[in-house]
């Protein structure tokens, strides 16, 4: 137990601000997966809820249970309120798990499931998330399922989850379905109604994510009346403060228009952001069903850690997914269009800066050698070689010259914007030209002077 390390999550805004040397309001946080649309009445709702601050909350939380139950078409007896999903995961582990119990967790997924179960002595077994439907749950005490999954954004259809519910229930195995993001995806795929009538299915819901109120910590779970009754009896007394409980009642009691607007907004913005991210060379975004996008950087030149650090210097926080055991992956939340544009602009700036650094390194090496590289074919950066090519300058010192006489051209991206392409220009890779450029650089001439002396006569 003493070897357990706390889970790493996003939302370290103040720490990020300190590292970046910026104020918190100067940062855009794409590491947290919240509804990008602020609930329009949230300030007045919170202000009104403060009127109850001088009284203890009713530990039964009858108002919260009723609105939560009405939203999901279940009974108040099915609802267990909590101080966010994390507390409810702890409560479930404390109630269900005994030392030596086996727990099955798909991977990659939210790390709190494993941490909380290990805390009570569970032996954890992992299975690839794509194989979850083919599991045999016979020897397990519990199975966790995040739907839609964090960090992949993949939604399992209701019919498939019901099939998994039946498989686990028939073996007396608890299936805990975390639906923290389902209201920002497709609430019709929820299995909350199944949990309401099954002693072995529990559904977690997050008001925090849906209404973008992480500072209040609001969540609840749905379970059978008997199991929910047990959990309500053993949870911490007053586990929710009166302000959070009242805000939850107001939000859930008047939310349908807001949620429909949010779903429509997210679908549009997710599609726009996905296309922009996919346009970056080496970026492989995963198709997502919810309000965040996972990106594979394995073929990108920068590691996820280095890209995260460079983006922070640009005032953008993104999530390095190393804590999900995903090497060189990042996760980016979908935000408003203007903010998403800032993200794309910052990524382009980081890539340009990195390219210039590579160019300077190669130039320094060439200046040290004082001679052209002569058809170097083991270049770790680009697979652009052709017969007789000279790789003294793997990144053209004149880029972007924007002179079409070189054979280069200005390309118009289908996703918007333009980029200068050197695909048709081989001038700087010709041995004699590379030698001349290198000689003039060693002589101390400026780039503009060298362009006129060496490059222009070749056009």
Q: How would you classify the pairing of strands 28-29 and 316-317?
A: parallel
Domain span including residue 244: 42-254
Question: Does the pLDDT value for residue 6 go beyond 80?
Answer: no
pLDDT value of position 263: 97
CA angle 208, 213, 215 (to 5 degrees): 100
pTM: 0.81
Q: Contact, 29 vs 214, CB < 8 A?
A: no
Handedness of CA 448, 451, 456, 459 (dihedral sign): negative
pLDDT value of position 351: 85
The rounded distance, in Å, linking the Cα atoms of 214 and 112 is: 17
Residues 19 and 61 in one domain: no
The rounded distance, in Å, linking the Cα atoms of 354 and 361 is: 11
Task: List residues bridging with 221 in a β-sheet.
Answer: 80, 204
pLDDT value of position 382: 43
For residue 329, what pLDDT band results from cuts at 50, 70 and 90?
Answer: very high
The rounded distance, in Å, linking the Cα atoms of 310 and 198 is: 49
Residues 65 and 206 in one domain: yes
Which of 200, 233, 254 corresponds to the end of one domain?
254
Residues 232 and 156 in one domain: yes
Which of 254, 269, 288 corresponds to the end of one domain?
254
User: For a pLDDT cut of 90, what percent of the chain falls above it?
Assistant: 67
Closest of 183, 228, 254 to residue 35, by C-alpha: 183
Q: Mean pLDDT over residues 183-204, rounded?
A: 97
Question: Beta-strand (E) ranges in 94-227?
Answer: 102-107, 123-128, 142-146, 174-178, 201-206, 219-222
Is residue 4 included in any domain, yes or no? no
For residue 383, what pLDDT band results from cuts at 50, 70 and 90?
Answer: very low
Residues 401 and 438 in one domain: yes
Specify the 3-state DSSP secondary structure of 250.
helix
**What are 299-312's pLDDT values in tens digits?**
888 999 999 999 99
**What are 44-79's pLDDT values in tens digits?**
999 999 998 999 999 999 999 999 999 999 999 999
Is residue 7 included in any domain, yes or no? no
Q: Contact, 196 vs 224, CB < 8 A?
A: yes
pLDDT value of position 9: 65
User: For a pLDDT cut of 70, what percent of the chain falls above it?
Assistant: 88
Q: What is the mean pLDDT of the chain?
A: 89
Question: Does the pLDDT value for residue 359 go beyond 90?
Answer: no
For residue 384, what pLDDT band results from cuts at 50, 70 and 90?
Answer: very low
Question: Does the pLDDT value for residue 35 go beyond 50?
Answer: yes
Which of 254, 271, 299 corresponds to the end of one domain?
254
Question: Beta-strand (E) ranges in 277-415?
Answer: 284-285, 292-296, 316-317, 319-320, 329-333, 409-412
The rounded distance, in Å, linking the Cα atoms of 331 and 181 is: 15
The backbone torsions φ and ψ at residue 264, rounded to the nearest 5 degrees and listed phi first, read -65, -45
Question: Does the pLDDT value for residue 255 go beyond 90?
Answer: no
- Half-sphere exposure (Cβ direction) of 304: Cα atoms closer than 13 Å: 21
Instruction: Give buried/exposed letters for 81-97 (b at 16+ CB in 10 A, else e).
Output: bbbbbbbbbbbbbeebb
**How many structural domains is the chain composed of?**
3
Question: Does the pLDDT value for residue 432 go beyond 90?
Answer: no
Residues 190 and 53 in one domain: yes
Task: List residues bridging with 316 in a β-sheet.
Answer: 28
**What are 80-90's pLDDT values in tens digits?**
999 999 999 99
Residues 147 and 181 in one domain: yes
Tell which wins on pLDDT, 154 or 280.
154
Q: Which helix H or strand E contains 420, and what residues bound it? A: strand 418-421
Question: Does the pLDDT value for residue 385 go beyond 50?
Answer: no
Residues 111 and 162 in one domain: yes
Question: Does the pLDDT value for residue 235 go beyond 70?
Answer: yes
CATH number of the domain residue 275 falls in: 3.90.1150.10
Residues 227 and 282 in one domain: no
Task: List residues bridging with 177 in a β-sheet.
Answer: 145, 203
């Amino acid at each position: 137990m003493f070897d357990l390390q706390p889970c790493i999550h996003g939302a370290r805004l103040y720490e990020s601000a300190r590292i970046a040397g910026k104020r918190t309001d100067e940062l855009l946080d794409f590491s947290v997966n919240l509804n990008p649309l602020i609930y329009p009445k949230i300030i007045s709702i919170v202000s009104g809820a403060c009127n109850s601050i001088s009284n203890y909350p009713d530990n039964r939380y009858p108002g919260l249970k009723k609105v939560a139950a009405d939203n999901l078409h279940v009974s108040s007896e099915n609802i267990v309120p909590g101080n966010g999903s994390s507390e409810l995961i702890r409560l479930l582990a404390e109630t269900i798990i005994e030392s030596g119990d086996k727990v099955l967790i798909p991977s990659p997924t939210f790390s709190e499931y494993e941490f909380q179960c290990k805390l009570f002595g569970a032996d954890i077994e992992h299975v690839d998330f794509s194989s979850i439907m083919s599991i045999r749950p016979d020897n397990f005490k519990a199975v966790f399922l995040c739907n839609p999954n964090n960090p992949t954004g993949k939604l399992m259809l209701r019919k498939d989850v019901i099939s998994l519910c039946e498989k686990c229930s028939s073996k007396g195995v608890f299936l805990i379905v975390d639906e923290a993001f389902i209201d920002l995806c497709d609430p019709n795929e929820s299995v909350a109604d199944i949990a309401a009538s099954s002693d072995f299915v529990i559904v977690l819901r997050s008001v925090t994510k849906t209404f973008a109120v992480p500072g209040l910590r609001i969540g609840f779970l749905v379970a059978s009346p008997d199991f929910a009754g047990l959990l309500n009896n053993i949870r911490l007394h007053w586990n929710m403060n009166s302000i959070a409980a009242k805000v939850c009642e107001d939000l859930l009691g008047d939310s349908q228009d807001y949620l429909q607007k949010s779903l429509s907004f997210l679908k549009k913005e997710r599609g726009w952001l996905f296309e922009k991210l996919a346009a970056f060379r080496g970026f492989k975004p995963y198709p997502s069903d919810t309000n965040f996008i996972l990106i594979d950087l394995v073929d990108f030149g920068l590691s996820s850690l280095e890209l995260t650090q460079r983006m922070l210097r640009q005032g953008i926080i993104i999530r390095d997914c190393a804590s999900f055991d995903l090497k060189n992956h990042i996760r980016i939340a979908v935000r408003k269009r203007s903010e998403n544009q800032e993200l794309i602009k910052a990524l382009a700036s980081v890539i340009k800066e990195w390219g210039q650094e590579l160019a300077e390194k190669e130039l320094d090496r060439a200046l040290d050698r004082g001679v052209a590289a002569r058809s170097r074919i083991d270049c770790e950066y680009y697979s652009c070689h052709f017969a007789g090519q000279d790789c003294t300058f793997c990144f053209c010192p004149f880029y972007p010259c924007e002179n079409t006489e070189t054979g280069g051209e200005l390309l118009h991206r289908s996703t918007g914007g333009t980029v200068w392409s050197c695909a048709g220009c081989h001038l700087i890779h010709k041995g004699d030209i590379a030698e001349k450029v290198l000689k003039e650089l060693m002589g101390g001439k400026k780039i503009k002077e060298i362009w006129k002396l060496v490059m222009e006569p070749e056009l």
